[in-house]
Structure 1
Amino acid sequence: MSEKPKAPEPQTRMLDARSLRGLAHPLRMRLLAALRHDGPATASRLAERLGESSGATSYHLRQLAAHGFVEDAPGHGKGRERWWRAVHDGTAFNEQLLYDEDPATRGAADLFLHEIATIHTQEMGTWLGDAHTWSPQWRRSSDLSDFTLRLTPDQAAELVARMHELVESYRDVPQSEDSETVRIHTHALPRRSAAE
């Protein structure tokens, strides 16, 4: 019996100061997310999906291409339509960018992280608005939880790493006809108590 081929490791792009400044724009981040989640598309299709003008999506796709986030997707469409695809599966954020000596880089880092939080909020809102259209089994399989722990910075970093390892271990699970794309958000945030 032959062994099932292992799913390819996701390709992740580590952001540096230049690439961060090229990505840190709300529409660019939404365009890149749409291409990563839904596959190749044209600027006009993305414009329709995101409620933007095709001129705006075309411009920002070209900017994403100039910074190496998207590229042409040959073999899609016909005629003069230009199809785009994401180059990487994900993006990794270097926390040091928040402390960069260049204020433009620090501003881009702040905008990037706030936009990620906005995207997470929008995805949660979409789920809550559409939950009634999913089966009871899928509704029971969703989660909206929070926990409060007292940890040191090292313990919090260990917890985050272990959560990421657990999530990554599910990349190779067998697919079936009832498999769906599942978005997992993790947030681990220190919070000062009111007494401090």
Structure 2
Amino acid sequence: MSFDRRKLTDAHDLRALSHPLRVRLMELLAREGQLTATEAATELGTTPANCSFHLRLLARHGFVEEADGGVGRQRPWRLVEQETQIVTRDLDPEGLSALRALDELRWVRRQHRQAEWWRTRDEYPERWRGAASESFAVLHLTVDEVVELRDALQEVINRYVERGAPSQRRAGTAPIDIAVSMMPLRRPHPGGEDD
């Protein structure tokens, strides 16, 4: 099995993702596999009608789909199994604005997930606590080295992506949050190829 690849270049698709409840719904479906609007509402502290509306909107943009079984608000939803890549060079100003909004939401949600881990980590088995990690480093790299490092990390992550797909989940697994962020901390030293 392999994921379809979808390149996001449309501001409307990015705006569909750039909503706090829709970001939380996507996270919840990634974590749980599939849920009804009622189950999602209970988990997220909102109404089934609200979740149903946002799930239908995400479905119109191709991010979620109905799973088998159930009708109305009792029908389950799941993520569309696809690899999504945002192509920033193809975004117009509206798309870049939507991407900024999405990035801000993702950053807030990431901080929330990290705080939740630190709050609850003692409740996890010792091996899981030992396996979880965070790495911080400041490296001095050329732009070509950044691309090389980015691609190497993505290649390793891709080897595990399909194992986490809802249709491939196995006993003993847990959803693992992985975020790789590489950004310059200041302008490069003069004299490089990209000055």
- Where on the TM-score scale, by shorter chain, does this alignment land: which range? 0.7 to 0.9
User: Closer, same or farther in 2 for the Cα pair 1:184/1:65, shift >3 Å?
Assistant: same
For 2:105, which of 108, 112, 115 is the aligned residue?
A: 115
CA distance in 1, matches of 2:77, 2:176: 23
Aligned to 2:79: 86
User: Closer, same or farther in 2 for the Cα pair 1:130/1:40, shift >3 Å?
Assistant: same
Aligned ranges for residues 43-54 of structure 1 at < 5 Å? 43-54=37-48
CA distance in 1, matches of 2:9, 2:19: 15
Percent identity (aligned): 31
Describe the superposition over 1:165-189 as per-residue Cα deviations: whole angstroms up to 9, x where unpaired: 122234588x985443322221112
CA distance in 1, matches of 2:87, 2:113: 24
Structure number with higher helix proportion: 2
User: Closer, same or farther in 2 for the Cα pair 1:117/1:90, shift >3 Å?
Assistant: farther
CA distance in 2, matches of 1:123, 1:163: 22
Report the CA distance between 1:79 and its aligned residue.
Answer: 7.9
Asked if 1:29 is matched to 2:23, the reply is: yes
CA distance in 2, matches of 1:29, 1:55: 17
Structure 2 residue runs without a partner (length 5+): 164-168, 188-195
Aligned to 2:166: none
Q: TM-score scaled by structure 2?
A: 0.80
Report the CA distance between 1:31 and its aligned residue.
Answer: 0.9
Return the letter of the residue paired with 1:125: A
User: Closer, same or farther in 2 for the Cα pair 1:29/1:140, shift >3 Å?
Assistant: same
Contact 1:41–1:84 under 8 Å retained in 2: yes
Report the CA distance between 1:126 and its aligned residue.
Answer: 1.5
User: Closer, same or farther in 2 for the Cα pair 1:91/1:148, shift >3 Å?
Assistant: same
Aligned to 1:164: 154
User: Closer, same or farther in 2 for the Cα pair 1:177/1:41, shift >3 Å?
Assistant: closer
Count of residues paired in the alignment = 181
Aligned to 2:145: 155
CA distance in 2, matches of 1:26, 1:67: 16
CA distance in 2, matches of 1:39, 1:9: 17
RMSD of equivalent CA atoms? 2.5
Q: TM-score scaled by structure 1?
A: 0.80
Contact 2:34–2:67 under 8 Å retained in 1: yes
Asked if 1:182 is matched to 2:176, the reply is: yes
CA distance in 1, matches of 2:141, 2:54: 41
Aligned ranges for residues 7-156 of structure 1 at < 5 Å? 8-17=1-10, 18-75=12-69, 77=70, 81-96=74-89, 100=92, 102=93, 104-156=94-146
Structure 1 SS opposite 2:74: coil
